Amino acid sequence: MSEKNFSIGFGVGSQNAKGDWLEVFYPKPLLNPDQEVVDAVAKNCGYSGGNEAIELGKNQLETLESALREMGQAEQADIISTFKLSVRPLVATVLAGDDSPQTVPEGYLKLQLLSHRLVKPHGINLNGLFGVLPNVAWTNKGAIDITELPEAQLQARINGETLTIDCVDKFPKMTNYVVPSGVRIAHTARVRLGAYIGEGTTVMHEGFVNFNAGTEGPGMIEGRISAGVFVGAGSDLGGSSSTMGTLSGGGNIVISLGKECLLGANSGTGIPLGDRCTIESGLYITAGTKVVILDDHGTQVNTAKARDLAGKSDLLFRRNSASGAVECLTNKSAVELNEELHSNN
């Protein structure tokens, strides 16, 4: 096989009574693995190329472990060795390329590449993921197929137990799969698998981070980071603040925050912000918001739609308490500001 491979993961997961995958846990997924690792999967597990999830039998584990140890892949070999004790189904998932995920094992491998910080948001193809992942009951007994939930609840009661259902969703919480180093997460249910949480990030109780979104770190998150949004180092999202994701009305605009930005409590943005930008508490900026632009002396220079200011740095958005107008104060002179605005029209 000569193609360059994108990723590989050895995982243990859950299936429903029909043998359909519900979820997969990959302890140490590999990005751009050595070709010899893929060759070992081909030789010992029947991999023939392309993107494929191969269910592993116990008889394959011994030879696969030996092959991995011989090539110096001790960490992956240890995982395979541990799999010998599993009562759960096992899988080797190979992604030869970054195509749209077609199976549950493929989708879960991609989500865990994000949460392991191996790729950043928008750095991986997740098109069609919603259609691939099943809606699952996440319980204290693991993932359960929705159609099989009533029987599982009854069986638990008969056994003198209670089946606790944490949520019913396509995405589990990240910390059941990955706990990145150097982070604090006060309420783990509010960070979905597929989130990228950078070193030094604190997610407080009311903070929320969706999949394919996250923080470069360090940062303080007390607001919402919607799908597709990435927050730069040193930025702070105040309590109940919000970022507009592409799934919630943002169209094709990719929302992001640069370094050292501040969203005040109950504020929000529907445009990407550059570095060192601030939106005052209670003010939500959308692409169509009419903004009065003030220069570094506080003098009105122009008016514009907020989309015209997308990605620019050192901006302060505020609402004039007397007129009610949304103002943007910059650190540029009137001449510099006018030139910059007209060059982007």
C-beta neighbour count of 74 within 10 angstroms: 10
> Is residue 231 within 8 Å of residue 248, measured between CB atoms?
no
DSSP per-residue letters across 178-221: ---TT-EESSGGGBBTTEEE-TTEEE-TT-EE-TTEEE-SSEEE
Cis check for the bond before 180: say yes or no (omega within 30 of 0). no
Q: Which of 307, 299, 309, 311 is nearest to 335 (CA)?
A: 299
- Residues whose CB falls within 8 Å of the CB of residue 235, separated by 6 or more in sequence, listed in order: 215, 219, 257, 258, 259, 260, 261, 262
Contact assessment for residue 269 and residue 263, using Cβ atoms and an 8 Å cutoff: yes
Gyration radius of the chain's alpha carbons:
24
- Compute the C-alpha angle 151/156/162, nearest 5°: 120
The active-site residue out of 23, 52, 216, 222 is 222
- CA nearest 45: which of 26, 60, 30? 60
> What is d(CA 238, CA 280) in angstroms, rounded to the nearest whole number?
10
Return the axis-axis angle of helices 74-83 and 58-70, rounded to nearest 10°: 160
Q: How many C-beta atoms lie closer than 10 Å to residue 76's C-beta?
A: 24
Whether 222 is catalytic is yes
HEC string of 97-159?
A: CCCCCCCHHHHHHHHHHHHCCCCCCCCCCCCCHHHHCCCEEEECCEEEEHHHHHHHHHHHHHC
What positions carry a catalytic annotation?
222
